[in-house]
Structure 1
């Protein structure tokens, strides 16, 4: 397969899966393996194209970001609490990411771990959907400090490929009483510093290995992921509002089982 086509396919996969509770990293690893390439060789690319997905959230929620930024300058309570919640939830991932970076890199090459994480995560979604009793919070600025800390701790589970960063944060928020829509939006906003930090760290660690060709591929992959993510996030919010997260849970279970079967037959 031509490298350019693979770059476009991976950009589409990133854009589709980054904000769904299905694990973008897991899907990128499985897609790379399925198309006949080694996941470890594309580890940097898969992380480096995430700014495209980040930009999608900035564009879709630009009014929210603008309100928060201007609110910080005028010291408005809502803007201060919004920022506090996002930073508090982001902090645990920073600590563990720096401490366990080398171990995380090893897991990024293991497709079997991804498959099992998809299945287990799907079951977890069904359990939370069945037993969680979230109440309407009304936005990220209304989430409590305790809930924000809990979301940040749960997000750390997503360092295992296949767990899903968005899935972990959304389920974590719902488990601690946050309604579906606010949980999803909290996951979107938390993605901005989390993905930006992960991308910056990977690019810095591998700065000596990046060629001009790779920069071009990363730029194309990020652009494709941006376009796709804009469409997917809008559709995702409509699906969640109407059907909840159950459809994504069953997809994870089926996809994980299929991946295990395929990996076993290779």
Structure 2
């Protein structure tokens, strides 16, 4: 029962934070540290609950993803984002992630590096919020290939735990002339193939730590993450135009301060 309780708490944390610019990985690492849920099994659990959040995006944007898979002629010429946008946005993080995967897992997944990432990511959010940039892409379907690639470059920052993938890509999109709502939606879209790829790789490498006894805990965490993420995404999209990214930055600074006090003072 104790482990099921931890699974529920971590599922809620993942679902709430995965698509907000506050770093879900950072929240998961810090929360797991407080719950004393550590080790390879805990790391594998974190991968599984991330898949729950990704499935929420897949359901909400199901028709859009079906369009990406369409083999009808002219798919690269029609208006709106298409498969090429996703590919060019994914490439930078895939290349850098594969090159540095072992280093990142060995040295960056800890409370101290997360606190640093929270602060640096918060600074980026403030910069994106304060810079007066002419918006050339008001909706997600206005995003160009060049902007998609630029957003992909910013996504590489999220390889540092605590930096936040959504925070990096949203900030990058805004700095490149994409509206905040369009940047948020594009972030949700590219999260699906990116996180399926990253989670699939991590699960394969962690296969020796998976047992049938872990199944109930893992399924509970995945289900909770899925449900909470569905509500979090819909709510965020409704209010994203009204929320300044600086608000999330201040939250990140406060969170880093609280956990610094808990862990080191």
Fold agreement, TM-score > 0.5: yes
CA deviations over 1:209-266 (Å, ceiling 9, x no partner): 211122332222111111000100111122211123222111111101111121112x
- 1:128-175 C-alpha deviation (Å, 9 max, x unpaired): 101141415243332122211111111011111100011111111111
Superposition RMSD in Å: 1.9
Q: Give the match's secondary structure for 1:241.
A: coil
- Aligned residue for 1:28, secondary structure, equals helix
The change in CA–CA distance for 1:160 and 1:219 in structure 2 (over 3 A counts) is same
Give the equivalent residue in structure 2 for 1:174: 174
Give, in whole Å, the separation in 1 of the partners of 2:28 and 2:130.
Answer: 29
8 Å Cα contact 1:15/1:225 also seen in 2: yes
Contact 1:180 1:244 in 2 (8 A): no
Residue equivalent to 2:130:
130
Structure 2: distance between partners of 1:168 and 1:107 = 21
Give the deviation of 1:188 after TM superposition.
0.2
Instruction: Classify the secondary structure of the residue corresponding to 1:100.
Output: helix
Greater share of residues in helix: 1
CA distance change for structure 1 residues 45 and 134 in 2, over 3 Å: closer, same or farther? Answer: farther
User: 252-261 or 33-42, which moves further after superposition?
Assistant: 33-42
> 1:19, CA displacement in angstroms?
0.3
Per the alignment, residue 54 of structure 2 pairs with: 54
In the alignment, structure 1 segments of 5+ residues that lack a partner are none
**Alignment of structure 1 residues 95-110 onto 2, 5 Å:** 95-110=95-110
- What is the alpha-carbon distance in structure 1 between the residues aligned to residue 81 and residue 116 of structure 2? 37
Alpha carbons 1:88, 1:148 under 8 Å: kept? yes
Q: Confirm whether residue 73 of structure 1 aligns to residue 58 of structure 2.
A: no
Deviates more, 1:180-189 or 1:142-151: 142-151
Partner residue in 1 for 2:192: 192
What are the ranges of 5 or more consecutive residues in structure 2 without an aligned counterpart? Answer: none
- Count of paired positions: 264
